[in-house]
């Protein structure tokens, strides 16, 4: 009897888990990189996500289609736990004597990686969103999950996804425009309102909302 991929994963089949990694590691990495804003931290999130997925493998529902929402939900919890740990660490460091200043080259690195001034502004703006808004925006827009799948990943109601996504789009548009003005670029190459750049393509359009 041939077992389904979900059944094989539930049973702890290493080959099935290896295929799961091959299929979804890229999606988990993209999601993590866009939420945490750092490639190294995103790689750590991928590793922790699949370790946690292995630990929770028996909770995989026997029926269903893509396991991407399940994995992105685990990644969301990993990032939240990591953020709480980092916050405690930063608070502990703040109580230590001020160290000698070391230049931070992160901003220059982001500048070199940016494809355009609009993209750089959008990335800065994305980092200024509330974490809940950043998570839902990344899942729905960049990972192209529908509202139901995003709700499954985040463990919230579909209506919550819709409201957070609406707020995220509105705030992100305003923050991006403000960042462009701040950087002295008053000419936006984005063609239409409600639209801004993802890695290389326009990602946000009102038409997408109707397709969710």
202, β-bridge pairs:
197
Whether residue 91 lies inside any domain: the answer is: yes
Whole-angstrom distance, CA of residue 98 vs CA of residue 100? 7
Lowest mean pLDDT: which of 130-139, 143-152, 164-173, 190-199? 190-199
How many residues can be counted in the chain? 212
What's the rounded mean pLDDT across residues 7-12?
90
Q: What is the CA radius of gyration of the chain?
A: 19
Whole-angstrom distance, CA of residue 104 vs CA of residue 83? 20
Domain shared by 77 and 7, yes or no: yes
Lowest mean pLDDT: which of 20-24, 114-118, 123-127, 158-162? 114-118
Domain shared by 121 and 196, yes or no: yes
* Tokens standing for residue 206: 């009102």
Q: What is the pLDDT of residues 59-71, one digit of tens each?
A: 888 787 789 999 9
Domain count along the chain: 2
Share of the chain above pLDDT 70, in %: 69
Whether residue 102 lies inside any domain: the answer is: no
Tokens 């939420």 belong to residue? 35
* Tokens standing for residue 116: 């355009």
Residue 191 makes CB contacts below 8 A (sequence gap 6+) with: 202
What's the rounded mean pLDDT across residues 34-42?
85
CATH of the domain at 87: 1.10.1740.10
Domain shared by 6 and 84, yes or no: yes
SS3 state at 66: coil
Model confidence pTM above 0.75 = no
187, pLDDT greater than 90? no
What's the rounded mean pLDDT across residues 99-113?
44
> SS in 3 state form for 129-171?
CCHHHHHHHHHHHHCCCCHHHHHHHHCCCHHHHHHHHHHHHHH
Domain shared by 116 and 66, yes or no: no
Share of the chain above pLDDT 90, in %: 23
Q: What is the pLDDT of residues 156-184, one digit of tens each?
A: 898 999 998 888 888 888 888 887 777 76
| pLDDT for res 177 | 81
Whole-angstrom distance, CA of residue 50 vs CA of residue 28? 9
CATH of the domain at 170: 1.10.10.10
203, pLDDT greater than 50? no
193, pLDDT greater than 60? no
Supply the range of the domain harboring residue 52. 1-95
* Tokens standing for residue 21: 């990694």
Of 175 and 111, more confident: 175
Domain shared by 170 and 78, yes or no: no
Domain shared by 83 and 139, yes or no: no
Of 209 and 148, more confident: 148
Tokens 């729905």 belong to residue? 140
């Amino acid at each position: 009897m041939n077992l389904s991929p979900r059944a094989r994963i539930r049973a702890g089949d290493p080959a099935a888990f290896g295929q799961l990694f091959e299929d979804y590691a890229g999606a988990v990495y993209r999601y993590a990189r866009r939420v945490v804003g750092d490639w190294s931290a995103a790689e750590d999130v991928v590793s922790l996500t699949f370790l946690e997925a292995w630990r929770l493998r028996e909770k995989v529902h026997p029926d269903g289609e893509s396991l991407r929402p399940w994995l992105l939900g685990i990644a969301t919890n990993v990032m939240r736990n990591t953020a709480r740990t980092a916050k405690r660490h930063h608070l502990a460091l703040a109580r230590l004597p001020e160290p000698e200043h070391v230049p931070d080259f992160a901003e220059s690195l982001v500048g070199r990686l940016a494809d355009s001034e609009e993209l750089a502004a959008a990335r800065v703006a994305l980092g200024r969103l509330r974490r809940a808004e950043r998570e839902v925006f990344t899942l729905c827009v960049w990972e192209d999950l529908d509202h139901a799948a995003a709700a499954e990943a985040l463990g919230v109601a579909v209506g919550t996804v819709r409201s957070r996504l609406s707020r995220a789009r509105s705030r992100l548009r305003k923050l991006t425009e403000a960042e462009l003005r701040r950087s002295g670029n008053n000419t936006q190459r984005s063609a239409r309102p409600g639209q801004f750049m993802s890695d290389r393509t326009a990602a946000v359009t009102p038409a997408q909302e109707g397709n969710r």
